[in-house]
A and B are shown apart, each in its own frame.
Chain A
Amino acid sequence: MDTFIFIFLAVLTIGSGLGMVLNRNTVNSALFLVLNMVSIAGIYLLLQAQFLALIQILVYAGAIMVLFLFVIMLLNLDDERSLFSKVRAKYISAFFLGVVTLSLILYSLEGVADLLPEISPEMETAGTVEALGDVLYTDYLFAFEMTAILLTAAVVGALMIAQYKKSNNGASE
């Protein structure tokens, strides 16, 4: 049963991903992304990562995508079509290279499907909030703290890039 759900979700994920990239209408594109996020959340659930699945929906599919859509609609980016330049050879070669990469990866994955670990009883609880919080503040404390710095830096950086022109330049000297 799990396998079938997985195949369904995987196809959905890849399909929506392709749909997002290939669609020329930005709003449609964004909606495909939402679908993509949701199906990934489904895969998380399948892997017993309940908390992660929930957060995936809340944060990505919810908050971030809504922001995305707002921005897209506000900026009215429909004439982005011109972005697609005339260089066709590039896309063709990109396609072939993509196929080669994919086949390499698939080839490498082929013989190892049965190597994936069986889901054990401990792993069943691994995705809960308690379990997650427990390891996050003990074993993975370093990564957690580093992430805090990463996020701070990202926020400050985004502001720096976005701000129009520093007003207090003169004053700071």
Chain B
Amino acid sequence: MESPTALVSLIIGLPLLGFLINGILGLSSTAYRSKKTLIGILANLAVFIPFLCALTLFLNFDSESAAAFAHLFTWMETGSFSVDIAYQVDQLSLIMTLVVTGVGSLIHLYSIGYMAHDEGFWKFFAYLNLFIFAMLNLVLADNLLLLFLGWEGVGLCSYLLIGFWYTDMSKSDAAKKAFLYNRVGDFAFLIAIFMIFETIGSLNFEVILTSLEAFSGNDIFWIGLLILIGATGKSAQIPLFVWLPDAMAGPTPVSALIHAATMVTSGIYLITRMSPMFVMSPEVMMIVAVIGALTAIVAATIAITQYDIKGVLAYSTVSQLGFMFLALGSGAFTAAIFHVVTHAFFKACLFLGSGSVIHTMEHVEHKLHDKGKDVHFDPQDIRNMGGLRKYMPSTYKTFLIATIAIAGIPPLAGFFSKDEIVMHAFNMGFGEYAGAMYFILWGVATITAFLTAFYMFRLTFTTFHGSFKLPKLINGTEGSEEYLHESPATMTTALWSLAGLSIVGGFIGLPNFVSKTFGGDGHINWLHEWLHTIAADIPLTLSGTAEWALMTFAIIVAAVSVYIAYKMYGNDQQEESDAWIASKFGPFYRVWKDKYSLDELYEGAIVHPTVNFSDKVLAVFDMKIVDGFVNAIAGTVRISGSLLRYIQTGVASNYALFLILGVILVLTILLF
């Protein structure tokens, strides 16, 4: 295909332009801030046009096309080291770009309605555009350094947006927490980048992936591990996942866009991009898989105990990201990307649906305040909800569709992607390295799939089925049902679009064995064909029968889980059922409810000792020795500065004297 420079410039440039226009005009003119329609339209176009551009590129591309490069300019160049602002258009980056701009467009659209009454409207859209810009840099970069810039950029935007309502202390704390946990990962990633540069002197993906033999096995292991740690930070995996649930403090569209659909998947993108390197080290692959499976089940068990609608979704996101890591670790890179795509659809839909619910619950609270009733309740607590399907039919239907998708019921999107992952994990059990481990991981994944369907339906039933419970729980809220209403059209449009994608999204990755069984050529998995030049997948070696059996088993697990959930939560029994689980699982339930006490663990094991150490030892060392040394130097410098100052007498003839001195100096150097 011809050079994509123009289109790539548009894709990258427009979000930046949107950010600059809204940012600068909003900053400098208060009149502009109130023109919300204009701001909204500009911000939306700044993402939607790139989407169309990406679509154009996509349509001109096929699975055999070689990567096309758009070299915009050289940022800096010194000796052998040069940093190019250059982008790589290939099958993988196109998929990611389409997801980022496509889902991004829908969420931008949704935000117009959601943020309509916020006075930081302009700022919100400026940040969102900036985020899209950074994210596109991340997925389109043709070298690790530019990717790292995008990587840091999305981290920054995530920080800004989590703390968007920064006047609330807990929200700005959440922002800080997210930033710090990300930094830990980023540091490891940076070391990996240094190691790569040290070995082959280039950060270009093409160069790295074609000169892998230059790395020793040891190098591969450590670089892989460091990249993995970087990815666990950004993609919220054990041990660095605790920031993501807190990150729900940001506005809901942000949770949907950044903390579900796009940014958190950048770790998966990165590992897929580097997949030829990862498959060279089975040890790292296994660590990736273990971390993924462990995260999946830990987060899923926590999700069962949560009451906050966004909290459940947050842990569910962590859990699904765990699935993706399991896929990576099982050599199913395509499946991981597949799950990234489908997850972007249904999780964005779920988050936006929850936003719609929160929106209406807040509306109820405001209305009650307007009526002069001084009532306070948590608009995100599902125990206050129930029966909402009567009042918000569109939200309910789309939420339900997305729930079915995530639960893994065929033929919705989540089923195909999750099934492929589980199957690959099982397949790895027959591999040469640590087979038994992968069987265990398969078991863990299956249990997690069961839990996923369970907690998601628990959430849906409690929120939308049964009766509206707020009036029964809190005095003064009688008759508040009348304030419940469906969200505006901009919001439901986005919901329905995403719900539609959640239904059909799975068809890009139909399992090949189905086709084989019915006499096809075994190539109906479009995504697999599309990515085969990039993702270094470890092929499935299972027989057709085994695959059918596994798939049937997965469907049964999901169906049973949904049935149990319906029995337990289908009709206003949330309180009793939760109590029943708590009594049945006793100590386990408490551990789940305390979120495995990870926050406390980090606080006790790392934060406190560090603070103490720096307070008691480092501070003294710093004050007495470092500062003393620095002060001594600074003092000397300042004194000599003051002394030199005396030369500056202000008398012109003295100045002339120095001039002559200079003449003598110059002539002396020259002549002798």
In-complex A–B contact (CB below 8 Å): yes
Q: Are B671 and A108 in contact (CB under 8 A)?
A: yes
Q: Are A93 and B667 in contact (CB under 8 A)?
A: no
- Fill in one digit per residue for B494-519: 1 if any A CB lies within 8 Å of its CB, else 0: 00000000000000000000000000
Q: Are B653 and A97 in contact (CB under 8 A)?
A: no
Find residues 463-494 in chain B having any chain A CB closer than 8 Å to their own CB: none
**Residue A67 is within 8 A (CB to CB) of chain B in the complex:** no
Minimal beta-carbon separation of A40 from chain B (angstroms): 23
**Residue B663 is within 8 A (CB to CB) of chain A in the complex:** yes
Beyond A101-B664, A104-B664, is A94–B671 a contact (Cβ under 8 Å)? no
Among listed B74-82, B540-548, B605-613, B654-662, interface-contacting one: B654-662
- Residues from chain A with a CB closer than 8 A to the CB of B671 are 104, 107-108
- Residues from chain B with a CB closer than 8 A to the CB of A98 are 660
Q: Which residues of A contact B (CB under 8 A)?
A: 90, 93-94, 97-98, 100-101, 104, 107-108
- Residues from chain B with a CB closer than 8 A to the CB of A104 are 664, 667-668, 671
Q: How far is the CA of A55 from the CA of B668 in the complex (A)?
A: 38
Q: Are A94 and B657 in contact (CB under 8 A)?
A: yes
Q: How far is the CA of A98 from the CA of B657 in the complex (A)?
A: 10
Q: How far is the CA of A107 from the CA of B654 in the complex (A)?
A: 26
Q: How far is the CA of A94 from the CA of B653 in the complex (A)?
A: 9
In this complex, the member of A93, A94, A97 whose beta carbon has the largest number of chain B beta carbons within 10 angstroms is: A97
Interface residues on B, range: 10 to 19
Q: Are B664 and A100 in contact (CB under 8 A)?
A: yes
Q: How far is the CA of A94 from the CA of B664 in the complex (A)?
A: 12
- Fill in one digit per residue for B278-319: 1 if any A CB lies within 8 Å of its CB, else 0: 000000000000000000000000000000000000000000
Q: How far is the CA of A104 from the CA of B657 in the complex (A)?
A: 16
Other than the given A94-B653, A97-B657, 5 more pairs (CB < 8 A) read A90-B657, A93-B657, A97-B661, A101-B667, A104-B664
Q: How far is the CA of A69 from the CA of B205 in the complex (A)?
A: 83
- Residues from chain B with a CB closer than 8 A to the CB of A108 are 667, 671
Q: How far is the CA of A101 from the CA of B671 in the complex (A)?
A: 12
Minimal beta-carbon separation of B669 from chain A (angstroms): 12
Which 4 pairs, one residue from A and one from B, show the smallest C-beta to C-beta distance? A97-B660, A104-B667, A100-B664, A101-B663
Q: Which residues of B contact A (CB under 8 A)?
A: 653-654, 657, 660-661, 663-664, 667-668, 671
Beyond A104-B671, A108-B671, is A97–B654 a contact (Cβ under 8 Å)? no
- Residues from chain B with a CB closer than 8 A to the CB of A97 are 657, 660-661, 664
Minimal beta-carbon separation of A173 from chain B (angstroms): 28
- Residues from chain A with a CB closer than 8 A to the CB of B661 are 97
Minimal beta-carbon separation of A107 from chain B (angstroms): 8
- Residues from chain B with a CB closer than 8 A to the CB of A101 are 660, 663-664, 667
Q: How far is the CA of A21 from the CA of B550 in the complex (A)?
A: 110
- Residues from chain B with a CB closer than 8 A to the CB of A93 are 657
Q: Are A90 and B654 in contact (CB under 8 A)?
A: yes
- Residues from chain B with a CB closer than 8 A to the CB of A90 are 653-654, 657
Q: How far is the CA of A60 from the CA of B661 in the complex (A)?
A: 32
Q: How far is the CA of A155 from the CA of B660 in the complex (A)?
A: 30
Minimal beta-carbon separation of A110 from chain B (angstroms): 12
Q: How far is the CA of A15 from the CA of B667 in the complex (A)?
A: 26
- Residues from chain A with a CB closer than 8 A to the CB of B664 are 97, 100-101, 104
Q: How far is the CA of A93 from the CA of B656 in the complex (A)?
A: 12
Q: How far is the CA of A90 from the CA of B653 in the complex (A)?
A: 8
Minimal beta-carbon separation of A116 from chain B (angstroms): 20
Minimal beta-carbon separation of B659 from chain A (angstroms): 10
Q: How far is the CA of A171 from the CA of B204 in the complex (A)?
A: 66
Minimal beta-carbon separation of A94 from chain B (angstroms): 6
- Residues from chain A with a CB closer than 8 A to the CB of B668 are 104
Q: How far is the CA of A90 from the CA of B654 in the complex (A)?
A: 8
Q: How far is the CA of A100 from the CA of B657 in the complex (A)?
A: 13
Q: How far is the CA of A107 from the CA of B653 in the complex (A)?
A: 26
Q: Can you spell out 12 A-B residue pairs with CB atoms less than 8 angstroms apart?
A: A90-B653, A90-B657, A93-B657, A97-B657, A97-B660, A97-B661, A97-B664, A101-B667, A104-B667, A104-B671, A107-B671, A108-B671
